[in-house]
Amino acid sequence: MSVQAVLFDLPGPKARRRHRVIGVVGTLVILAGLAVLTWGLRAQVLNPAMWAPFLMPSTWTAYIIPGLLATLLAAAISVVLAGVVGVIFGLGRLSHNAPVRAVSTVFIEFFRSVPVLMMMIFANAVFSTTGILSGDYQPLAGVVAGLTFYNASVIAELIRAGVDSLPKGQIEAGLAIGLSRSETLRLILLPQAITAMLPSLVSQLVVVLKDTALGYMVAYSDLLRAAQNLSTNYGNLVVAFLVVGVIYIAINAGLTSAAGRLERRTRMTRTTPNVVAAGPDTMLPGGGPLAP
């Protein structure tokens, strides 16, 4: 049996040749652009003296590693807090209590619409003005607050979408066994929704990690600011940012790969048919299986 595409026809020989030509031309254009860019930045990129600081252990121990740890710390705290807050407001938006649902909806829609950087700057200003936090903890708190509120609203929407995608019979089944609507939502629907949206939730980690770079604007000593400080001392801004960019790409590629594997495993779990030991045609009228 031939496999047919659902949304489009499979490309023919001419279309495949055209796609190959477009792919080759596009690759050549990108390589040419990179070559021109490298030649324009040859004073930095092709100068061995600009790469020499990365051969010194002090560069890594004083700049790169502390900046990377600060980035991972802000991302880890934000992920935990955003997960907790997102679940709370996600359940709140699905609540049958009108005031709770209204408050949760306003929270989600507001913080999804406000730029993350604006929330970081505002939170940092609030901490600075009120004197609640000071020193090195103030920029960290500003970064975490901005990332937490934004990503909590996104996670809440993912949970709502996950619950809405479940069959309506799940609610009826929960009510049939004596559970209340809130217990059905918390004990039956929520675990299934989190499992269904788990790949999307893991992919959100990439967004959190990348957005920690915005902490540069509130003087947070993250990986980006470490690269800036390093380039100030050695005059290798382009090279420092290239190295830091490679580090970001490596971490995000690992998270993306983990999300992809998790999605494939989840899809396989859903599509694997259940093996029935004894079908209806092998059962006796009384319920027992037929003898072989």
Domain coordinates of the chain in residue numbers? 47-270
Residues in Cβ contact with 145 at an 8 Å cutoff, skipping those fewer than 6 apart: 119, 120, 123
Rounded to whole angstroms, how far apart are CA atoms 98 and 104?
10
pLDDT of 9 > 90? The answer is no
CATH assignment of 47-270, among 1.10.260.30, 3.90.650.10, 1.10.3720.10, 1.10.1270.20:
1.10.3720.10
Q: What is the dihedral of CA 70, 255, 188, 280, to 10 degrees?
A: -160
Q: What percent of the chain has pLDDT over 90?
A: 28
Closest CA to 238 of 48, 41, 32, 65: 41
Name the band, by pLDDT with cuts 50, 70 and 90, for residue 278: very low
What pLDDT is recorded for position 271?
58
The Cα 104–Cα 90 span in angstroms is: 7
* Residue, of 194 and 149, whose pLDDT is higher: 149
Mean pLDDT for 136-147 is: 90
Q: Is the predicted pLDDT of residue 168 greater than 50, yes or no?
A: yes
DSSP run (H or E) holding 167: none
Locate 263 and state its tokens: 């999605």
Look at residue 60 in the predicted model and tell me its pLDDT.
92
- Average the pLDDT over 142-147 and give the result: 94
pLDDT at res. 269:
66
Tell me if the pTM is above 0.85: no
Q: What is the mean pLDDT of residues 259-279?
A: 61
Dist. CA 125–CA 129, nearest whole Å: 6
Higher-pLDDT residue of 152 and 196 is: 152
Label residue 181 by pLDDT band (50, 70, 90).
Answer: confident
Over range 207-232, report the average pLDDT.
89
Tokens 């019979």 belong to residue: 169
Q: Is 279 a residue whose pLDDT tops 60?
A: no
**What is the number of residues in the chain?**
292
The pLDDT of residue 290: 45
pLDDT band at 3 (very low <50, low <70, confident <90, very high): very low
When the pLDDT of each residue in the chain is averaged and rounded to a whole number, the result is 81
Confidence of residue 2 (pLDDT cuts 50, 70, 90): very low
Rounded (5°) CA angle 141-143-148: 90
- The whole-number pLDDT of residue 4 equals 46
The DSSP code for 186 is: I
Amino acid at 114: V
CA pair distance 285, 22, nearest whole angstrom: 65
For residue range 123-137, list pLDDT tens digits in order.
Answer: 988 888 887 777 778
**Average pLDDT for 57-68:** 92
Distances (CA, A) of 102 to 97, 164, 232, 239, 240: 9, 18, 50, 50, 47
Mean predicted confidence (pLDDT) in 258-280: 61
